[in-house]
Amino acid sequence: MIKNEQRPLNFEKCPESDDELKKRLEIEKLINKNIDKNISFDVLVKLSLAPYGLVNDDFRRILWPQLAGVDINHLGQAPTLDKFQCHPEYNQVVLDVNRSLKRFPPGIPYEQRIALQDQLTVLILRVIQKYPNLRYYQGYHDVAVTFLLVVGEEIAFAIMEQLSTTHFSECMQETMEATQRRLMFIWPIIKFENPELYQFLQNSTVGTLFSLPWYLTWFGHSLTSYRTVVRLYDYFLASPIYTSIFVTAAILLYRSDEILKEDCDMASVHCLLSIPEDLPFEDLLKTSSSLLNKYSLTLIEKDVEELICQERKRKTDEALIVKRRQPATSNRIPIITKWLPNILTAKPVILTTAISIVVGVCAYYYNNQYLAAGIS
């Protein structure tokens, strides 16, 4: 589903700009204003969507649970890892967690890293054990590890439980059919905004596979900057469920000139669409918010239905063309192959007798001819 080759996450901190400092002080003032450190939800959403998001992990540790609707005063205690060793998804989860070493801060002590990996495994298995209708998917651990690193094991579980039954519920179904259909929501947005780009991407037959890890992991699997990942998580937590689709559309629209210069074939375009390191994500999030306000899901859904109908018609027409190009004799082959075994196997005694009679008549005829000619 998702490539295992994952680049290391860069945890390097950048100098604080004047605007970032101003926002940090604003959030700090709002938090300290209340004894319980709660901020009005509407205010919290605005802060999360605005440039720099929630600024730093100290604030996120306090405010992410509020955004996700989690009550930190009623958290259960995490069980130990050995409680899950018989779970059918245990081996796959452990395998994926072991592959996620590059998503942990570099230089942390070995014992601490092992403890975090065990916590991550337990966190994931707790969710899918509590909700048997949900299926683990590769990439789920990329989301879980981000929350684990910021808010710790107990709160991370509560947030992942909430998101798994809302934002990621489609991704956790038996099949990926619903997810594949959801990714098609990208195309109407592109078509409305840039018809030339839309037609180019359709002609290239690139599909939506390039965006699958973006959608499944809120871009956490594909980005190398930890700072950017947590900034996006601020944005997604404060936004409607399918907002990552609009961020994907914003990225494609931003890179339209670059894409249109590429060869119009699937391999070339798919390779190009990996995420560059230098995307201006604050600008892209503004574009995403604008697209969200501009296009309703109802409008997009209607266009997707039309796309699906067109695709079905195209496949039906192609199948008819292939069928018409087949040689006419090809249709007789099944009849002959069906008829021959019946001749060779049905009523063998009658067939043998008939052949014997024919041979006898011929012998009698030729014998009379020879006698008439005086040949004995």
Question: Within a 13 Å sphere around the CA of 29, how many CA atoms are in the beta-carbon half?
Answer: 8
Which amino acid appears at position 62 of this protein?
I
Cα distances (Å, whole numbers) of residue 74 to 153, 158, 181: 14, 10, 37
Q: Which of 9-18, 114-123, 257-266 has the lowest mean pLDDT?
A: 9-18
Query: Over 90: is that where the pLDDT of 368 sits?
Result: no
Q: What is the C-alpha separation between 332 and 309, in angstroms, rounded?
A: 34
Count the neighbouring beta carbons within 10 Å of the beta carbon of residue 369.
10
Check residue 363 and give its pLDDT.
Answer: 42
Count the neighbouring beta carbons within 10 Å of the beta carbon of residue 88.
8
Which two three-digit tokens encode residue 275? 């995420």
Query: Over 80: is that where the pLDDT of 343 sits?
Result: no
Check residue 2 and give its pLDDT.
Answer: 63
Query: Over 90: is that where the pLDDT of 7 sits?
Result: no
| Residue pLDDT, tens place only, 245-268 | 999 999 999 999 999 999 999 999
Residue 10 has phi, psi (to 5 degrees) of: -90, 115
Task: Find how far residue 37's CA is from the centre of its chain.
Answer: 36
DSSP 227-276: HHHHHHHHHHHTS-TTHHHHHHHHHHHHTHHHHHTS-SSHHHHHHHTSPP
| Residue pLDDT, tens place only, 314-332 | 888 878 888 888 765 555 4
Check residue 359 and give its pLDDT.
Answer: 39
Check residue 317 and give its pLDDT.
Answer: 81
| Residue pLDDT, tens place only, 153-184 | 999 999 999 999 999 999 999 999 999 999 99
In the block, which residue shows the tokens 């860069």? 10
Check residue 322 and give its pLDDT.
Answer: 86
Query: Over 90: is that where the pLDDT of 373 sits?
Result: no
Which two three-digit tokens encode residue 170? 């489609």
- Looking at the chain, list the stretches that DSSP marks H as alpha helix, in order from N- to C-terminal side: 18-33, 41-49, 57-68, 90-98, 110-130, 140-151, 153-164, 177-183, 186-193, 195-204, 212-217, 226-237, 243-254, 256-260, 266-272, 281-294, 297-324, 333-345, 348-372
Task: Find how far residue 192's CA is from the centre of its chain.
Answer: 23
pLDDT: is 10 or 120 the higher one? 120
* Domains of the chain with bracketed CATH: 175-224+231-319 (1.10.472.80)
CA angle 173, 177, 181 (to 5 degrees): 120
Q: What is the C-alpha separation between 360 and 101, in angstroms, rounded?
A: 89
SS (H, E, C) 97-126: HHHHHHHCCCCCCHHHHHHHHHHHHHHHHH
Query: Over 80: is that where the pLDDT of 74 sits?
Result: yes
Check residue 13 and give its pLDDT.
Answer: 85
Which two three-digit tokens encode residue 311? 């695709």
Count the neighbouring beta carbons within 10 Å of the beta carbon of residue 67.
23
Query: Over 90: is that where the pLDDT of 354 sits?
Result: no
The DSSP output letter for 222 is T
Q: What is the C-alpha separation between 200 and 207, in angstroms, rounded?
A: 11
Query: Over 60: is that where the pLDDT of 344 sits?
Result: no
pLDDT: is 340 or 39 the higher one? 39
Indicate the SS3 state at residue 5. Answer: coil
Long-range contact pairs involving 293-297 (C-beta distance under 8 Å, separation at least 24): 295/188, 295/189, 295/192, 297/185, 297/242
In contact, 10 and 199? CB cutoff 8 Å: no
| Residue pLDDT, tens place only, 198-256 | 999 999 999 999 999 999 999 999 999 999 999 999 999 999 999 999 999 999 999 99
- The residues near 137 (Cβ < 8 Å, ≥ 6 apart) are 1, 171, 172, 176, 216
In contact, 221 and 333? CB cutoff 8 Å: no
